[in-house]
Chains A and B, each alone.
Chain A
Amino acid sequence: GAVVSQHPSWVICKSGTSVKIECRSLDFQATTMFWYRQFPKQSLMLMATSNEGSKATYEQGVEKDKFLINHASLTLSTLTVTSAHPEDSSFYICSATSGLAGVNTGELFFGEGSRLTVL
């Protein structure tokens, strides 16, 4: 099956610093990637949809200047949490779909997720 790799798995940073999370499709070209955030005991909440070569589409309430998304190639999307604060501490996970992987089923292929702790 299609494999998506996400790293780092864990990151601890000081308040005010920026953190970059990478999401890579290893064996397929991901034309679209999605970034989700999950708070404890809550569902995965879509933050933004990232299309290769174009600007990301952010969900209502998600600050695009705070959460910078770059999808510069068909295999890599990055999420940068800028000037992180303790309230940004959360679990972030990416998923991908492409013209080949999941096109008929619509299923998503997920990364392993990244747990961010901002001190």
Chain B
Amino acid sequence: ILNVEQSPQSLHVQEGDSTNFTCSFPSSNFYALHWYRWETAKSPEALFVMTLNGDEKKKGRISATLNTKEGYSYLYIKGSQPEDSATYLCAFVSGSARQLTFGSGTQLTVLP
């Protein structure tokens, strides 16, 4: 069983604050790391798919970094807005299984 952990489990920030959270995954047999945003009553939506050590990807105010050697990825949100409130999931893909193993998510609430 692959261990994918996300921290913190939940987070409350004020509108305008920047925030970040962590996804930890096995440092061996890496293939890809996915980030998804899951708003309440909606479908999870892909943010990033990262494959290379040292990768940094950006979409608007959201960015992510990847360290495959030490087995972690950070997701950053700059200037949080209430519409950023969602659960952010990461998912690890191993080179052998090629299936996604999900973390339990970080639930972000941005207070106006």
**Residues on A facing B (Cβ under 8 Å):** 4, 34, 36, 41-46, 49, 93, 95, 102, 105-113
In the complex, the chain A residue whose C-beta lies closest to that of B93 is A106
CB contact under 8 A between A43 and B46, given known A49-B99, A106-B34, A112-B41: no
- B residues lining the A interface (CB < 8 Å): 4, 9, 32, 34, 36, 41-46, 49, 89, 93, 99-105
Cβ A46 vs Cβ B46 within 8 A? no
Contact among B45, B46, B102, B104 for A105, CB-based, below 8 A: B46
CA distance A30 to B45 in the complex (A): 17
Q: Are A113 and B43 in touch, CB under 8 angstroms?
A: yes
Which DSSP category, helix, strand, loop or mixed, fits chain A's interface?
Answer: loop
Are B49 and A43 interface neighbours, CB within 8 A? no
Tell me how many residue pairs across A and B have CB atoms closer than 8 Å: 49
Report the Cα distance A91→B111, complex, angstroms.
27
- Point out the residues of chain A lying under 8 angstroms from B36, CB to CB: 108, 110
**How far does the Cβ of A5 sit from chain B's closest Cβ, in whole Å?**
9
B contact residues around A93 at 8 Å (CB): 44
- For A105, the chain B residues whose CB sits under 8 A away are 46, 49
Residues on B with beta carbons closer than 8 Å to the beta carbon of A108 = 34, 36, 44, 46, 100
Taking a contact as CB atoms closer than 8 A, the residue among B43, B102, B105 that contacts A112 in the complex is B43
A-B contacts besides A34-B99, A41-B9, 7 pairs, CB < 8 Å: A4-B43, A43-B4, A43-B101, A43-B105, A102-B46, A108-B100, A111-B43
